[in-house]
Amino acid sequence: MHLNEIIKQKPNEVIVAVVRRHPLTYVPSVLLYVVIGLIPIVLYFFIKQFSPDILANNYIGAIIILIFSAFELSVALFFYSSFLVYYLDMIIITNDRFVEVSQRNLFSRSVSEFNLYKIQDVTSEIVGVIPTLFNYGNITVETAGEGENLTFHAIGSPHELRRQIVQLADENRKMNHEELSEVNEAHV
């Protein structure tokens, strides 16, 4: 399966952009997992330094090593799962639609979409020192109808993306209007 199968890509549809949260927002998670992963290693050397008899014992030493090993593997597994949730959370913008893929956890994913011509307003904002330095912020998309506004947080280059979305929405509205006119003429 590829991205085009997730969004059920139409014949004349082209994927223009795939947008994810800025990588900097994932760094705190990475650091947390690194710190947690270091705990057994630090504990091991601590025990070896101050109570070497414990590790020298055939039984306790083996059990401690097995527990530490299982702990480290669990940390690696949880880290990779959290990376998956971060990486599979994305917005896919085509020349026709706006598709939001939300990976809530490993076995839970939702996909929502709307046509670009329904976009009425797009707002981008960068708030804060670090977001300003690293150029990431929020984008709010307002659509026609009764749907709620959609806000996407910590997107890289939000102002540039807003311009791109507005341009694509205009082009899509034009194309949609032309198709409707052709259909009306055919019926007449």
Partner 1 sequence: MITIPLFVFLIAYLLYLFIFLLFSLANVYHIVSTGTFTGVAFVVTAITTAGCIAVLVTTYYMLVDINWYSNLILLGPGGFVLFQ
User: Where does this chain bind partner 1 (CB under 8 A)?
Assistant: 1-6, 57-63, 65-66, 69-70, 72-74, 76-77, 79-81, 83-84, 87-88, 90, 106
**Closest distance of CB 123 from partner 1, Å:** 28
* CA–CA separation, 29 and 81 (whole Å): 12
Angle, CA of 178, 151 and 14, to the nearest 5°: 40
Q: Are 47 and 63 in contact (CB under 8 A)?
A: no
CA dihedral 125, 130, 132, 134 (to 10 degrees): -110
CB of 65 to partner 1, least distance (A): 5
Q: Are 89 and 103 contacting, i.e. CB atoms less than 8 angstroms apart? A: yes
On the CB side of 102, how many CA atoms lie within 13 Å of its CA? Answer: 11
Closest CB to partner 1 among 106 and 133? 106
Give residues with Cβ within 8 angstroms of 181, minimum separation 6.
Answer: none
Closer to partner 1 at the Cβ: 72 or 142? 72
Nearer to partner 1 (CB atom), residue 57 or residue 123: 57
| Least distance between partner 1 and beta carbon 171 (Å) | 25
Q: Which is nearer to partner 1, 48 or 163 (by Cβ)? A: 48
Nearest distance, CB of residue 95 and partner 1, angstroms: 19
- Judged by CB, which is closer to partner 1: 66, or 183? 66
- Least distance in Å: CB of 83 to partner 1? 5
DSSP letter (8 states) at residue 145: S
In the chain, which ranges are E strands? 15-19, 90-94, 97-105, 108-115, 119-125, 136-143, 150-156
